[in-house]
Each structure stands twice: as C-alpha cells, then as structure tokens.
Amino acid sequence: MDVKGLRDFLLESNRAGYAGGDEKTWTREDDRSWTITFEDGAWKSHDNFFGGEPYGGRTVVFLAGIPVWMLVYYGWVDKSADPAKLYAVLKNALKRMPAEAPYRGPGRYEEDPFVYANTWEGALERFSGREEILEGSSLVYRADYAGGWVDKREAV
C-alpha cells in the first residue's frame, strides 16, 4: 500500500469534499443520502452520508477501482444550538486536517465562541476518534469515527 499516496489523497479529497462546501457537486441519492465523489488519478473517494441532524455516513477510498480504506462516522448537534453555525465551524476545522492523522480535523481549533477538539488513537491501518465542539463550557456537538484498511484478504 502506498501510505504516503493515501495520506496525500485524503488531504486533497477532504479539501474538495464536505469541508470544501461546494454542495452543488453533491449527489442526492434515492435513499435520501448525499454522496460526494472525488477522483485524482488512480485514487477515488466516495463519501456517502445521511443528514440533517443527527447525521452518519462513511467514506471509502479506492485505488485503481479497489476499496483500500474507509472511515465511518456518526454525530449530532445539541437541540439548544444552531446547526448552521456549528457545521460552519466543523467545516473550518476539517479544512485543517492534520497530515499525520488525516481522519477529521486537528487536535484543537478555535473560532470564538466555539472550541473544536479532536482526539484519536491508532494509525491509518486502524484508528478511532471523537470530535467535539464546545460553546463556552457547553458541549454542543459530538461525533465518533473509526476506520482503517479494508479488503486486505478474503473473509466472507
């Protein structure tokens, strides 16, 4: 597996995907989910999610048409908070995805009065994490995620 190529692709596809905010390129599916597709050479990502609020989805990365990596996620916004404001903060945090952990956003990002925090463990081959947004001392957003390599050997 080309780990550096995967890292580079994840960073690029993240900037072009949900964090990029170009909803005009998203596809509305018959099942009411949304799909964001991004391609660069032999690499392709397919981000499919349900949302509104709460939301959930998964991103699959393909190399030469073969699935090699995925991330699944589920999150919510507190009923007292404005989802539009929080998702704007989330997009800004996701644009700062760290190269050493290209799963979601950075460990910390501040956009007054909000603080985004992301903690994770593991590496590209298998990882899990949680991101939260606080408004002052109130938790107003949380999402859990996990992922890693897929389809490395026959199993089913």
Q: What is the pLDDT of residue 19?
A: 84
Long-range contacts of residues 71-75, Cβ cutoff 8 Å, at least 24 apart: 71/103, 71/145, 71/146, 71/147, 72/145, 72/146, 72/147, 73/49, 73/104, 73/143, 73/144, 73/145, 74/143, 74/144, 74/145, 75/131, 75/141, 75/142, 75/143, 75/144
pLDDT by position in tens, the chain (length 156): 789 999 999 999 988 888 886 777 889 999 999 999 999 999 999 999 998 899 999 999 999 999 999 999 999 999 999 999 999 999 999 999 999 999 999 999 999 999 999 999 999 999 999 999 999 999 999 999 999 999 877 776
CB 89 within 8 A of CB 105: no
List residues bridging with 147 in a β-sheet: 71, 127
Q: Where are the domains of the chain?
A: 3-149
Question: What's the whole-model pTM score?
Answer: 0.91
